[in-house]
Amino acid sequence: MAKQRLWSPTFLYLCFSAFTLFSIFNLFIPTLPLFAMDVLHASEQQVGIIVGVFIAASVIARLFAGLLLDRFGEKNMLLVSFLVVVITAILHIWSFSFGWLLFLRFLQGLGFGVATTAAGALAIMIAPKTRQGEAVGYYSMFMSLAMVIGPVVGLQVVQHISYTALFLTTVFLSVIGLLLALFIVYKPVRKAPEPLSVDRFIAIKAVPVSLCSSLASFAYGGILSFITLYAVSLGMESAASAFFLVYALVLLGSRMITGRIFDRFGENVVVYPTLVLFAIGLFTLSQAGSLSIFLIAAVLMGAGFGSVLPSFQTLAVQSVPPKQAVQATSTFYIFYDLGIGLGSYVLGLIVTGSTYSFMYIISASIVILAIVAYRVLHHRKLNNLGVKCMADAELEAS
């Protein structure tokens, strides 16, 4: 049987459109706290509120995203939510008060939550059934590129030009993303109206694997929030930038391989090894006393967390009937965001009363818990169904 085509123009438009969206998010990670403190004279607690409001808004949006996408279509809601991102990006130029910035971050969080849910669902629905794991892997690569490029570009713009230039950059990216999304060709499957129920907001069958992903993202919250401070505490100020660069390069390389392995041999062959690598990477990081150990940890985590995340997203969608693909994507991102947010907060409390090294040991323990949860919540389900992977269960059901 001939291999079905994955790299269609529509898939490329979607991937590059999503890249602009995640670039905006990552541009703001290191720069918006600086803006709030330098220009608005915000306190550290207020900076935390700015981050929290954005995450809270994105979670709220994803709760209702499934309902909206079912009602108005995936592409239409992607365009509308992108328009919200464009408008809020423009309004950031006139951020002269903390309250106004907070309001804009809430609105942008709503747009970001719906847009990423729509784009993530489209990435799977556009792809051939036999190449969904590969499709999510490639789609996630664009997210990862944005994660690396965004902070670097944002800091360079702020340091060498101005905050206004930073906001204009996000306007440019959001407009480009909106234009690319216009070229996406996708004909939604018409769905009969359904009564309101929990399944219209949360895909119950996708919760177990999404819970596993939240445990992994909980541990990753300690990387996003504290890796720079950890590097400084070790007297290696430039190590954080090197860490993310190495992490991203390994992540990109591994995702080109693991997506195909996922589709050919099943999820267990990918999930167990990558979670183990992530846990080992976190423990290695906790023992870092030199740049070489620091970067070895980056390699392990790039191959670990970077590869397991798209596997969980694919499994979330494969765990539900095709008509619930949007709700499954939304459920996955809700748990992923909650994991990041709770991880940043709880691990921050731990490091306040101990050390960064101890905090990363705790993070590694959480990943081990994720392995146990995966075994209990998903692998055992496959054994009960008598299949080696969720895709086989789908084929039997159809």
What's the confidence (pLDDT) of residue 1? 42
What domains does the chain contain, in order, with CATH numbers? 1-185 (1.20.1250.20), 200-397 (1.20.1250.20)
How does the average pLDDT of the chain come out, rounded?
79
Highest mean pLDDT among 67-81, 108-122, 260-274: 108-122
Predicted local confidence at residue 395, as pLDDT: 47
The band of 348, judged by pLDDT with boundaries at 50, 70 and 90, is: confident
Which of 28, 61, 373, 48 is closest to 219 using CA atoms?
373
Write the pLDDT tens digit of every residue in 129-167: 666 666 776 777 787 778 777 777 877 787 788 888 899
168 CB-near residues (< 8 Å, 6+ apart)? 93
- Amino acid occupying residue 356: Y
Q: Can you say whether the dihedral through the CA atoms of 238, 240, 243, 248 is positive or negative?
A: negative
Say how far residue 13 (Cα) sits from the centre of its chain.
Answer: 19
Q: Encoding tokens for residue 194?
A: 């359904």
Tell me the per-residue pLDDT of 5-57, one tens digit each, with 9 for 90 and over: 667 787 788 888 889 888 888 788 767 767 777 777 776 556 666 767 787 78
CB contact at 8 A, 227 and 239: no
Buried b (16+ CB within 10 A) or exposed e, 156-194: ebbeeeebeebbbbbbebbbbbbebbeebeeeeeeeeee
Give the pLDDT of residue 363.
Answer: 93
The pLDDT, as a whole number, for residue 45 is 56
Among 123-137, 184-198, 240-254, 381-395, the range of highest mean pLDDT: 240-254
- pLDDT at site 141: 75
How far from each other are the two terminal CA atoms of the chain, in whole angstroms?
19
Is this structure's pTM higher than 0.85? no
Report pLDDT for 209: 87
Residue 46, phi then psi, degrees to nearest 5? -65, -35
Lookup: tokens for 177: 């993303």
